[in-house]
Structure 1
Amino acid sequence: MKGEKQEDYCVTIPLLLGSKEKEQYTSIGGNASFLNTCFNGLNALSGVGILSIPYALASGGWLSIILLFLIASSTFYTGLLIKRCMDLDPTIRSYPDIGDRAFGKTGGTIVSITVNIELYMVATGFLILEGDNMSNLFPDMDFYIFGTHIAAKTGFVILVAIIILPTSWLNSLSIISYISASGVLATVIILSSIFWAGAFDGIGFEEKGKFVNWNGIPSAISLYAFCYCAHPVFPTLYTSMRNQHQFSKVLFLCFAFCTITYSLMAVIGYLMFGSNAESQITLNLPTHHISSRVAICTTLVTPIAKYALMLTPIVNAMEVRFQSSYNKRVCSFLSRTMLMISTVIVALSLPFFGYLMSLVGALLSATTSITIPCLCYLKISGIYRSIGAELVIVGFVVLSGLIVAVVGTYVSLVDIISHL
């Protein structure tokens, strides 16, 4: 394995693996350094959630920021549970493997479906985000196709999809990992630009906001959960490491850094715009300032860089299912193109970024990042057989995840339906 390149161990290894692929993958030993794994973990955890975090705080009020830290702590703990599951069974190589090991083939299938729906909805949210910010940056732009007028937001969603489409055809995961490597830097640039807009471009930090808004707490929790939805890639990070005993330190550093940046963005954005904070903080920014344009442009680059990464596991699963019936290249091309078209249709049908991310956070992120790791650990470790402190802690986290999923999903669906 000495001849393997470092990029063979990036986070973009498929989350869904067929049996043949799994056999090939398990023969590869980890070769990633501690720093490289930290970077990959940060890139997985830091995403577009940072744009909606001020809106989440505005929804729940100042008191709800405590819930951000509680969710961060819970998801960090469930990340450790994933590591423990893999320590107990070295044959586990991917997130669906954990479900398969705990609850058999049915469990693996359920986990696979949940993970891929989550990734699909996140990719759809990218297109909505692009359309919102581009139409905010160029509000007077209109599109005409064969004489038919198309609104600015709709036109930008379609235009961005056309730009992203060639990246979705890439089947080399190492190339895709280079395209998506700007995530951590983009997070720092966005945070710095928005702080600059508040401190030096006349916006200020004078909004007091509400101490608590009980009606908005479910939405706030769902959006906080969306910020920590990277658990499906943790098994890949773990197996990629040269020294897997350091994975707990990697998780701690990644969660600490992302929680600090998320909380800073939440506080800064809420002090700048108060209850008027939009579902994406960039929509509040006055576009005539350079700092605002830097923040918006950086926001636009990030989804383009990560879109292909989000859909790669779904495409891999489809190719495993259908490659025996069709030419592999043709199947890959058609699968990626049809997925792109379908996400465009969904993005145009549900153009509510905040509500969509809240739904994803409640229904899917809370499930994959909180509930599933706990249930699988209970089954694999066998601690459910006797009552103890660990069982009580895991049971409490499971209950919390279920409450977030049920209540948050209901509120998000009501909000989406009321705005259709």
Structure 2
Amino acid sequence: MNRNINTDIQSDYRPIDGDDDQSTPLLGTMQGGNASFQACVFNMMNAIMGSGILGLAYAMASTGIVGFSILLIVVSSLATYSIHLLLTLCDQTGVSSYEDLGGRAFGKFGKILVAISIIIQNIGAMASYMFILKTEFPASISGFLSPDHTRDVWYEDGTILIILVTVCVVLPLAILPKIGFLGYTSILAFLFMLFFTVVVVLKKWSIPCPLPVNGTLSLYEVSSNLSECTPKLFVLTSQSAYAVPTMAFSFLCHTAVLPIYCELQRPTKKRMQKVTNISIALSFLLYFISALFGYLTFFDKVDSELLLGYDAYLSRDILVMLVRLAILLAVLLTVPLIHFPTRKAVQLLVKGDNPFSWFSHSLTTILLLTIVLLLAIFVPDIRNVYGVVGSTTSTCLLFVFPGLFFLKMSSHPLLSLPAIGAVCLVAIGVLVGLLSLCIIIVSWAQNS
């Protein structure tokens, strides 16, 4: 019988002193999965990158080019460091799941807390992605049809479309027993994101600056304010506070790290750290290029969702329509990858470490996808709900938990460099979480 990643192989506990050989295989005895190094890189990138790439140009406009660059470097470095802590803990305690790390650090309460955080965070993320598909897929399809085509047809009904793609695409991929099998779909998702970045670069020279005051290129009436075309290096406004949470959530992939680690061929901490470094570096590159050229296209008039700007000035442009469809497909292919650790957390809470069962595996998959679909269909403001939940669970999973677990389980003195780094990670996580909550509350107050 094949090894199931939901089965945690326990080994003798070893204190975390940071002196162990990083090339020691995970758990010392596990042979790993069948996922190649390249497949794990693409799975990690797919876990990292999502619809958040659309908001980074707005974040650059809110912070300036240099300010954005500094923040993006800091956030990506912190994400890499927090994953390093998770891998260190995993490698030296002998556990192979995020939930069990919580159990080793804080007992049953820690294990349940991490599992619930993963479930809430990932159900919210999947529902948010499906909500985006429900609202954007019909418009994307209509863009390829003639303006006088028949209205109110089934393929312009967002609810019908997300039910179809869930049954025909998401369910077959989500029900796969191992995360390594998703490597091929993750390659497609990466290519879609790469295509988006290339189009953003190319369209920089299709829209003039200053922007047309009447919002169309066919009746071009240029603004006389040439200062609109001057990029800003540093910006500090009330909108700048939105940048840090946007970047932090753009690098959240921690729930998928350990499942990918378990599926890696010849799993070692050093090898998995290399997977992480390459994935975050490539994601950083696509994030920065798309944000930079998106900002240099629209400057201060960049929209919070970058593609909306192209809709205004390049209506029915074939490349823009294709890239919108590509982003939607990339988001769609991310849902099964997010689903994997969610199902694992649910099964851990319900049935513990019992052996793999196709019945419970399939039942959990169907129930989770049903909940996600119901949220996307019937909750009209799912993105705001997810914002509140995500500002707490996301920052915990990204910053707070790795730092706390390391401080609890490490033998390093509190004033040592690794311990200070963990303390900083926790402090930054709390700060980002509070900042995100405040931003959401202020936004609600302004909208009301």
- TM-score, normalization by structure 2: 0.76
In 2, distance between residues paired with 1:163 and 1:74? 35
Specify the alignment match of 2:221 in structure 1: none
Higher mean alpha-carbon deviation, 363-372 vs 54-63, is at 54-63
In 2, distance between residues paired with 1:98 and 1:182? 32
Letter in 1 for 2:230: K
Specify the alignment match of 2:54 in structure 1: 51
1:39 maps to which of 37, 42, 52? 42
Change (3 A) 1:237 1:116: same
1:126 maps to which of 123, 126, 129? 129
Letter in 1 for 2:239: G
State the shift of 1:45 in Å: 1.9
State the shift of 1:127 in Å: 2.3
RMSD between aligned residues: 3.4
Letter in 1 for 2:192: A
Letter in 2 for 1:304: L
Letter in 1 for 2:376: V
State the shift of 1:272 in Å: 1.3
8 Å CA contact retained: 1:37, 1:250? yes
8 Å CA contact retained: 2:55, 2:306? yes
In 1, distance between residues paired with 2:235 and 2:348? 49
8 Å CA contact retained: 2:126, 2:372? no
Change (3 A) 1:23 1:299: same
8 Å CA contact retained: 2:47, 2:256? yes
Specify the alignment match of 1:222 in structure 2: 245
Specify the alignment match of 2:415 in structure 1: 387
| 2:207 is aligned with 1:202 | yes
Deviations along 1:188-220, whole A, 9 cap, x unmatched?
111012212223x33569743553133122211
State the shift of 1:375 in Å: 0.8
In 1, distance between residues paired with 2:343 and 2:391? 24
2:74 maps to which of 70, 74, 80? 70
3-state SS of 2:245 partner:
helix
In 2, distance between residues paired with 1:277 and 1:135? 24
Change (3 A) 1:316 1:254: closer
3-state SS of 2:8 partner:
helix
Change (3 A) 1:233 1:318: closer
| 2:85 is aligned with 1:81 | yes
1:294 maps to which of 322, 327, 338? 322
Change (3 A) 1:276 1:293: same
In 1, distance between residues paired with 2:53 and 2:31? 34
Q: Tell me the matched-pair count.
A: 392
Specify the alignment match of 1:414 in structure 2: 442
3-state SS of 1:399 partner:
helix
| 2:354 is aligned with 1:349 | no
| 2:397 is aligned with 1:368 | yes
Specify the alignment match of 1:107 in structure 2: 110
In 2, distance between residues paired with 1:64 and 1:359? 24
8 Å CA contact retained: 1:168, 1:336? no
Letter in 2 for 1:172: L
State the shift of 1:322 in Å: 6.3
8 Å CA contact retained: 1:95, 1:233? no
Structure 2: gaps spanning 5 or more residues: 11-25, 211-227
Change (3 A) 1:319 1:165: farther
State the shift of 1:71 in Å: 0.6
Report the identity percentage.
21
3-state SS of 1:169 partner:
helix
In 2, distance between residues paired with 1:362 and 1:320? 24
Alignment of 1:173-192 (within 5 A): 173-174=177-178, 178-192=184-198
Specify the alignment match of 1:405 in structure 2: 433
Change (3 A) 1:60 1:161: farther
Letter in 1 for 2:130: L
Change (3 A) 1:204 1:100: farther
In 1, distance between residues paired with 2:131 and 2:166? 13
8 Å CA contact retained: 2:47, 2:253? yes
In 1, distance between residues paired with 2:267 and 2:360? 36
2:274 maps to which of 226, 246, 249? 249
State the shift of 1:252 in Å: 1.9
- TM-score, normalization by structure 1: 0.81
| 2:279 is aligned with 1:265 | no
Deviations along 1:283-334, whole A, 9 cap, x unmatched?
222342222112111012112222233234334544566689xx75884475
Change (3 A) 1:125 1:259: same
State the shift of 1:417 in Å: 5.7
8 Å CA contact retained: 1:33, 1:243? no
Specify the alignment match of 1:148 in structure 2: none
Specify the alignment match of 1:149 in structure 2: none
Change (3 A) 1:235 1:246: same
8 Å CA contact retained: 1:193, 1:294? no
Letter in 2 for 1:263: F
State the shift of 1:273 in Å: 1.8
Specify the alignment match of 1:159 in structure 2: 161
Deviations along 1:39-65, whole A, 9 cap, x unmatched?
332232222221221122233343233
In 1, distance between residues paired with 2:138 and 2:42? 32
Higher mean alpha-carbon deviation, 209-218 vs 362-371, is at 209-218
Letter in 2 for 1:67: L
8 Å CA contact retained: 1:225, 1:362? no
State the shift of 1:75 in Å: 0.9
Specify the alignment match of 1:338 in structure 2: 370
Letter in 2 for 1:382: S
